[in-house]
């Protein structure tokens, strides 16, 4: 039971608002000492855990990379690019992204899109630029509406597309849940039944995106109502 002291250290550390990294390290140290481990063994356990999960931290490198690219003008470049495509509208652009997001998720490439690495730096600015070509400066309410639809396209595409991929975690979770209830279903069957659902999701949300184009056409420049 003494090894549970580490939990108390975490609770106390967070309550008094200490550095979370120091709190976790102290909790691990206390747990190790309470478990009769030597200092060398505790440090070795830290090193082994870091070495085993070092690839997980690579994902977090995307955020600073995107930040650097944005500082160097990534959003401005995206706006300029879409401004030169006269056939592009906000709804059409988001519809294409929805299609690509769903297709790539269906083949297991769930990291192709995402809010941080794709929507915020590229898709949302391009969608806003397509509307700005007609209205000029966008009112805040319309700008936020476009951003919400850009995020929604990413969510819908990923959520309904990934279930088609047989080895995705959600399919295995559904299989395990049904198996506990005595229903034996193969992952391939779940993936096949996810296809009509994904098609309907694309059609329904695609219609919403085209209706967004109609709303933008009806908006008046400078109207923030």
**pLDDT at 225 (0 to 100):** 43
Does residue 34 sit in the same domain as residue 72?
A: no
Low-confidence ranges of the chain (pLDDT < 70): 1, 50-63, 65-66, 69-70, 220-225
Looking up tokens 């400078």, which residue turns up?
222
Same domain, 67 and 124: yes
- Give how far Cα 221 sits from Cα of 43, 56, 89, 98, 185, Å: 63, 46, 16, 27, 55
Is 133 inside any structural domain?
Answer: yes
How much is the pTM? 0.66
Helix axes 187-218, 140-162, angle to 10 degrees: 160
Crossing angle of helices 124-135/74-83, nearest 10°? 50
- Whether residue 134 is found in the same domain as residue 206: yes
- Are 35 and 129 in a shared domain? no
Residues 28 and 45 reside in one and the same domain: yes
Same domain, 48 and 102: no
Domain count, the chain: 2
Q: Is residue 223 part of a domain?
A: no
For residue 189, the model assigns a pLDDT of 84
Range of the domain at 32: 2-54
* Whether 16 and 86 share a structural domain: no
- Among 54, 76, 92, where does a domain finish? 54
**107 assigned to some structural domain:** yes
Instruction: State residue 152's pLDDT score.
Output: 94
Measured on CA atoms in the order 201, 202, 207, 212, is the torsion positive or negative? positive
12, 31, 54 - which closes a domain: 54
From CA 101, how far away is CA 123, in angstroms rounded? 12
């Amino acid at each position: 039971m003494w090894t549970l002291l580490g939990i108390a250290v975490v609770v106390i550390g967070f309550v008094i608002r200490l550095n979370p990294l120091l709190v976790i390290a102290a909790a691990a140290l206390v747990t190790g000492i309470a478990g009769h481990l030597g200092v060398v063994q505790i440090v070795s356990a830290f090193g082994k855990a870091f070495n085993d999960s070092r690839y997980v931290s690579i994902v977090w490198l995307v955020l600073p990379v995107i930040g650097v690219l944005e500082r160097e003008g990534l959003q401005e470049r995206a706006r300029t690019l879409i401004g030169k495509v006269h056939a592009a509208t906000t709804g059409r652009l988001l519809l294409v992204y929805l299609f690509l997001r769903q297709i790539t998720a269906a083949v297991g490439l769930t990291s192709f899109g995402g809010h941080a690495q794709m929507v915020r730096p590229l898709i949302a600015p391009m969608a806003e630029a397509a509307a700005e070509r007609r209205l000029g400066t966008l009112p805040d309410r319309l700008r936020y509406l476009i951003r919400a639809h850009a995020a929604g396209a990413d969510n819908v595409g990923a959520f309904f597309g990934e279930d088609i991929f047989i080895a995705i975690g959600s399919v295995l979770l559904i299989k395990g849940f049904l198996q506990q209830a005595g229903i034996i279903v193969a992952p391939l069957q779940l993936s096949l039944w996810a296809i009509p659902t994904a098609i309907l999701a694309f059609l329904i949300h695609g219609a919403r995106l085209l209706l967004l184009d109609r709303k933008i056409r009806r908006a008046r420049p400078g109207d923030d109502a």
